[in-house]
Amino acid sequence: MSAGTIVVDGATVVTVDRDRREFVTGHVVVEGHRIVAVGTGPAAAYEGARVVDGRGCVLTPGFVNTHHHLYQWVTRGLAPDAGLFEWLTTLYPAWAGIDEESVHVAATGGLAQLARTGCTTAADHHYVFPRAGGDVFAAEILAAAEVGLRFHPARGSMDLSVKDGGLPPDTVVQDRDEILRATEAAIDRWHDPSPGSMLQIAVAPCSPFTVTGDLMREAAELARRRGVRLHTHLAETTDEADWCEQRFGCTPSQYAEELGWTGSDVWFAHGIHFGDAEIKRLGHTGTGVAHCPSSNARLGAGIARVADLRAAGCPVGLGVDGAASNEAGSLLEEVRHAVLFARARGGPRALDVRSALELATLGGARLLGREHEIGSIEVGKLADLALWRLDTLPHAGIADPVAALVLGAPPPLELLLVNGRPVVEHDTVVTVDESVVAAKVTQTQRALLAKAK
Q: What is the pLDDT of residue 452?
A: 87
Whole-angstrom distance, CA of residue 384 vs CA of residue 309:
27
* 153: confidence class by pLDDT, cuts 50, 70, 90: very high
pLDDT for 2:
46
Tell me the average pLDDT across 52-64: 98
Q: Is the pLDDT of residue 305 over 70?
A: yes
Whether residue 182 has pLDDT greater than 50: yes
pLDDT of residue 166: 73
pLDDT of residue 3: 60
Q: Tell me, what's the pLDDT at 1?
A: 37
pLDDT in tens, 245-269: 999 999 999 999 999 999 999 999 9
Q: Residue 413 pLDDT > 70, yes or no? A: yes
> SS3 for the chain, per residue?
CCCCEEEEEEEEEECCCCCCCEEEEEEEEEECCEEEEEEECCCCCCCCCEEEECCCEEEEECEEECCCCHHHHHHCCCCCCCCHHHHHHHHHHHHCCCCHHHHHHHHHHHHHHHHHCCEEEEEEEECCCCCCCCCHHHHHHHHHHHHCCEEEEEEEECCCCHHHCCCCCHHHCCCHHHHHHHHHHHHHHHCCCCCCCCECCEEEECCCCCCCHHHHHHHHHHHHHHCCEEEEEECCCHHHHHHHHHHHCCCHHHHHHHCCCCCCCEEEEECCCCCHHHHHHHHHHCCEEEECHHHHHHCCCCCCCHHHHHHCCCCEEECCCCCCCCCCCCHHHHHHHHHHHHHHHHCCCCCCHHHHHHHHHHHHHHHCCCCCCCCCCCCCCECCEEEEECCCHHHCCCCCHHHHHHHCCCCCEEEEEECCEEEEECCEECCCCHHHHHHHHHHHHHHHHHHHC
Mean pLDDT of the chain: 96
Cα separation, 364 vs 374, in Å, equals: 9
- Out of 164-178, 239-253, 324-338, 373-387, pick the least confident: 164-178
Interval 436-445 mean pLDDT: 98
Question: What tens digit of pLDDT does each residue of 353-403 get?
Answer: 999 999 999 999 999 999 999 999 999 999 999 999 999 999 999 999 999
CA distance 438 to 105: 9
| pTM value surpassing 0.85 | yes
pLDDT at 95: 92
